[in-house]
Each structure stands twice: as structure tokens, then as C-alpha cells.
Chain A
Amino acid sequence: MSQNDILLEVEDLRTVFDTSEGAVRAVDGVDVTVRRGECLGVVGESGSGKSVTFSSVMGLVRAPGRIAGGRIRFDGRDLIGLGPRDMRAIRGRDISMTMQDALTALNPALTVGEQLAEMLNAHDEDLPARGGARRRAIREKSVEMLRLVGIPSPDSRLGQYPHEFSGGMRQRIMIAIALAPGPKLLIADEPTTALDVTIQAQVLELISDIRARLGMSVVLITHDLGVVAEHCDRVMVMYAGQVVEEGATVDVIANPRHPYTRGLLASIPRLSMRGQPIRPIEGQVPNLVGLPPQCRFYSRCPERMDSCLQTVAMRPAGPGRRARCIAIAEEAVA
């Protein structure tokens, strides 16, 4: 893989929230690599830091949160230390993000057409400079975007407000707005969690479809391993602020190397498992304040050993795979 293949590279990202109870290390030494044209799945439960990681990439972490360390390189540029002006230019034009709840993420007081135009006005450099030509171009492009995301009779729906659309349609509109400037990377944060399964399938297929057509990269943040299995090339599993396992989706699901990934897979109820007990992961996510240097999954891990009570680093676990578990190294030695 040449350096040029990599679109986004995050190294040792640390994001901290200062609270009355102490500093919460919500993201603690996270590395992310997103290649051009690929779809990376990011899986984790609440508190895993999966959303905070990508808010940090977008420069959207607000006080009391702060980025305490790390490097974020996007398309050959360092994003940390970039002024708010430059960051705003990158946000939207090069990286777009869609939120879980389209109803609150869209402005209820503006029509869909106005919101699309705003995005295009700010970020699209191919438009004519000014005047009627520019307005016409924006309108054409807006209609084209709504058509792209599968909204019927887009011309007449440009003048409607977000509340006049159904949940699935709103999610499509948010995707249309995110895609309007032609970003290189789309970060989709739980795009289908609020939607019904039949609608969820439509939206996910739409994202896959557009990715193939526009050749952009997609980061799909989700808690649903099924979604990742069907739509992502690679997957990154996060737990309590750290990445615990990453690799090609097929490999990770067929042969999970980290006990948490195994537990997560075993926790999913399946039609084929009727009558057999599911094996849930015991206990709950540890408090992120004042964690001792040890494997963060220690308290819940069925395979824990005394040697887990030290800092555990990510280690290679097969071709293109890494995992944060001490047992992997010992396997190799044995």
C-alpha cells in the first residue's frame, strides 16, 4: 500500500473531557487508517469513544472536551493545529458527517433547497462566480443531489421543510446535503439506528451505491455488527476509548482475536440459535476516570490472566490485522 492510498491517518489520538469527577479519557491512543475508496466500519457500544474519535477528526469537540494529543493527517495535511477558518473549509468540502438523528440535525426553519444551496454556496468551487447563472447552477445541482439519494420528484420537494419528510427521507436528505460538495470522506454516525429495518436497508444500500459511484471513502459508525458485515471492507472494534481489534471484516467476524469481539458476536441473538443460551459478556464498561494501566476489558474478560494487569498495546494478529490482547503474543511464542 503506497502512502498515496491513505486518505485519513490518525495516530495516537487522545481526547479528554474534564469533568467534576476528573479527566475522562474518552479517546485514549486511537489509530485510524482510512484508505481511498474503502468503507471502514467502526463498532462499539456507548462509551467506547467511537463517535468522539470522529468528532475529533472533524474538529467538533467542544469544551469541556479537548484533544490532548495525537496526529490527524487528511489527504497529506495535518489537521491538528489548523485554524478554525481552514478547518471549516475542510469540514463540509473534504469531509462530511451525517448524524444519527436527521430531524435534529437539519434546520427546521429552512427548506431543504435552502440548506442544500447553503452547503453548495460555501463549498462548491466549480459553480459560476455570481448572479443568475450561479443560482441556476445551484438549483440544478440540488435537484441532482436529491435525485441521487432517491427522492421522488426532487424538483418540487426542494421547497419543502424537513418535517414534511418521513424519517427515512430525512436521512436521505442529510446524506444529500453531506454529499453535495463532493467530499472525499463521508463519516456516517449511526445513520440507520433511528430507522426501521426495511428503511435501514434502503439507506445503507444507498450509501454503498454512492460510494462506488463517486469513489469516496466512507466511515460507518455503528453498534450493529450485521451492518458492518454487509457493508464494510474493514472493521475497527472499539472498547472504553481504545481500539481493541481491527482487520478485514470477513476475517474479524470469521475469526475474532479479541475476547471482546468474540463476546460481542456471541451476544447477538440469532434465529439459528433458538433454544441455545446466548452467552452475554458479564458486567459493564468500566468508569473511564482514573483507570489503572491495565487491559480495559480485564474486569469482564472470561480469559483474563494476571499478566493482563499492565498496559496492553495493539499487536499484529495476522495479515492486515491487529488486536489489543496479551494472549495473542503468547500464542505466537508457544
Chain B
Amino acid sequence: MRRVLAVWLPTFSTDRIVRAMLHGAGGAAWGKTRERRLPLVLLTSKRGGIEQVERCCLRARQEGVSCGMTLAHARSLLPPRAELLVQAHEPHHDEEALLRLARWALRVAPTVAADAPDGLLIDITGTQRLYRGEPRVVRSVAQGINRLGFAVRVAAASTFACAWAAARYSSDAVTVVPAGQERAWNREYPIAALRIDPATIEGLRELGIVRLGQVLAMPRTPLAARFGPDILARIDRLVGQLDEQIDPIRPREPIRAEMVFDGPSDRWEALELAGRRTLTELLDHLRRHQRGVRRLDVHLARPDRVNEQLTITLSRASANEKHLWSLLRARLEGVDLGGGAPDSTAPTGIEGVTLIASRTAVLRARQAVDGRLGSTDDHAAEASLGEVIDTLVQRLGADRVLRFKDASTHIPEQAVIFESVMSPYPERITPRAGEKLPPPRPARLFEVAQRAAVMALTPDGPVTRLRWHGHDYAVTACVGPEKIEPEWWRWESPPDHDEQPSGRQRTRLRHTPSAMPPARDYFSVQIEGGRWLWVYRAAISEPSTSTSCADGSDHVAPPASSRSAWFVHGEWC
């Protein structure tokens, strides 16, 4: 006889957010957080310009928040000091997470369906024996999901509809509806347990029909004439007179290739051969799907100790055997084949090699040119660049191979930043609308601008002589100035002198002396000998202030008497 489970995750979306927070980047910070210190979570979406609560966490619900409220209303219900996390509701992320959870549930039974938006349906027929009794199945599922960090209610019954209803409307978190008791068991549940549309629920409520028992007692034909045949079907499914089918998920098998030796071998040649063979096999497999490897897991079975696992990550999907082998080979070479301690009698070496393409991506379709595949220069260049990067990363580590990134700021020393070449590509490479291309900057920018003494005409040039590193240079050409002002919002606001003396007494704010660095006037100057330097003057309008930048580019405080200080910041090559 069929027995099924329904799982309901009443706060699935918010639990998911909290879980991500606990395990995410801020893991250390959140690690020891007790639950009561977690923020209240509201997930919202915009409807007609009004922010509306779509999902809320249990504690918010206890404060009176419900889904469908405006965010403003929800806020007014929550304690004013409550730490609140308001995020956009992302149904597609929930769907993905639910699918992952469904896959997790495959460990319970082979037939599992994701029941969007917040439930699972599991067919546990025949698995009871495995768990020594149905109540244990139910409990272990509940505990397992709970341990993953989700609030959960589980019910077992003979029909999916009945289990669905019991999971949601039973008074207990874990319910087992005995076989054949579907009709009797559900009487007191509200009619929403039939999973009918809200309009029908509302229509029945107007007639005073609010419990399942009342619906079950009604004459069927007039009921269908008024509320449509669907309601009868729902009833029949509930009591088991109509079979309900679910759409189970299928477990996804990663593409893998395996080779097992007759016995352990500690010979490099054996490992090399096995590696090459399995790689070829794996790539054959991938090519049929027109996919390339992004991540390759290598399992080495060993008799003497824990199996060894290596992982190779690629910057671009690749199915190039030569390239992949070069990466794989380098890693395999580092494997210790010698085995355990010399006095050990256990056999040493490798027993088998398994390659798993744990992440793959579609290979970009390539236009055939002159009857040959992938011969366009762009593709070739792109692919070979990827191979070079992979090789470098393999040798040096992902955090040591960097690429430039435009930071879109006027401040020269911050305009270019480095990021790991393996980090995902920025979505946007072309400048945004209204954004100017970066102005020309010297190829060599000094990490710390170097003091110089300058003879220049006031107020804005040109520079005529330059003394730098103890040498005196005549300037042969000078272009400028280019005025760059600091990003004011990073500093404290200077006191506002416009302030009208206000009659009311107010708390004065602490005004520390403004730490905003001065604006800079940049000049490109050519000194005798032809070198072009990039110098700037920090225009100091207020005397006797020492300046210090908070942006890391500290420069020497100018002498109190001078009204401006000069620096060499780079050299044009």
C-alpha cells in the first residue's frame, strides 16, 4: 500500500536567507550568534510602487507581520530598535534552493518532488522497513531538515493531498495519518486544506462552510454545479478515490571516468597512463554534450590511507585535451606514490583513478570557417589566453595572477585596481552612459608621491624648474593643469559657516578639523633629457594645516609657511 510524506517549510525563504548569512562570507562573525540575536527578516517586492512583504520570518510573524502587508505597515508593528533585514524576494532563488533540498531528500526515498513554493512530497512506500517503522521515517526527515536550518512540519498519509493538508493544518509538527483514516482525520481542518483557489474558499465561507467536514457532508452534484468540478477532484484525491501523480526529480549524475588497477601501484607510469586514459574518456563524453570542463575533481583511491582528492579549476571552459593534461599532469606529479611508513606491511600506491567533471559549461558554438572548426582568430586567441592563465594559476596560485580593473574614479592612484584573474567577469566592460573614458595617465605611477621643489608661475603654471631627488632640472615643456578634487564624501564635512545662529539650543556636533585632502593640480612636465614626469601641486588654501590622506597615499605634510606643496606622482614612458 502506498504511503507518502509531505514536508512543509513554513519559513523557507527567510530561513534560507538566515542560513546563507550564517554560512556565508560573514561566517566568522555570525558563527556564534544565538538565534535571538539574528535579525528579523522580511522579503519584499514592489507592487505598483509600494513595497510589500512577500515572506517574513517566524519572529516577525509573531509580532503581527503577515505576508501581503506593505513594508511600512510591517515596520510599524516591529520594535523600533529591532535589527531588521529587508531584502528583495527572489522566487527563483527559492526554487533553486527547494530543488537542492529535494535532491537532499533523495537519501530518504527515490521518489521526491519539489512542491513549490515551500514544500516537498516524498513517496516512502516500502522504505519503512529500512527505518524500522514509519514514525521513525517521519521523525528522521523532520530532524534532518531541521538540522539544515529550516523550520519544518512533516506528515505521513496514504495520499499526497492528505499528507499535504496534515503537514500544514495539524496541530503537531509531525503527524502520521493512519491508512484509511483520511476522511475522519481531516474533518476539523479548514477548507484551505483542500488546496483550492482562494475565491472558492471565500465563496464557501460566505455560506458558512469553513471546515473540511462540512464540505465532505455536502451533496456532490450541487456543490460541483456551484464551485466547479475541481473541488470534487480535490476531495477525491484527499480521500484516496483518485490517484495523484507527482513529478519526481531525477538525480543528476556528474560526468565521470574511472579506471581501477588490479592492485596498488606506486609507479608513475601507471598513474600517468591511467590519468591520460580517463581524461580522454571523460572528454569524449563531454564532447558529445558540447560541454567543456570548468572544474575537474580527481579522486585517487589508496589502500593505505584516506583517498586523495585533487581539484583543478579553469578560467574558461575547456575540452582541449592537451591543455587539460598539462594541468592534470602537473598535479599528478606532486602526488606522493611512495606510500606510508617504510616499515608498514600494507601495500602502497594508487589503486584507481576517477575523474569527475564537477562543473561544466557549454562550449561556445564555433562557426566553421574554411571547413575547419574554431579557426577564427578571436576564438583561438581567447582559448589560448585561457590556457596561459590556467597554467599560470596552476603554478602560482589564483590569488597571484591578477588582472587590471577600471575603478571609475578621478583619483589617479585609485583608478586602477587589481583582482584575481579567476574572479568572475564584470558584467560591464564598456563605459556607462555619461561616463567619460579615463583620461591619459602615466604608465608608471609611484606608489607614494615623491616630494619635489618646483619653480612655477602662479596661479596655475607653467612649471619652469624642478628639483627632485637632489637634482635640479630645467623644464622644457609643461602641459596642464588638470585639477582633481578629492572624493569629498569620504571625509568629514567641514563646519558650515553659513549656519544662521539659531535661537534654539542644540547639541553641537563635534567638529574635528577637516581632514579633507586638498585638491591637486597635475602637470605633465618634460625635463631636460626628455623624460616626461607627472607632477602635482596640492593646492592648500588654508595655511598651517597638516594634511593626511586616509586613502593610503600618504604624503609629507608641507611646511607650514608654504601655500602649496609639489609632488612627482609618476612618469610617462
**Do chains A and B interact in one complex?**
no
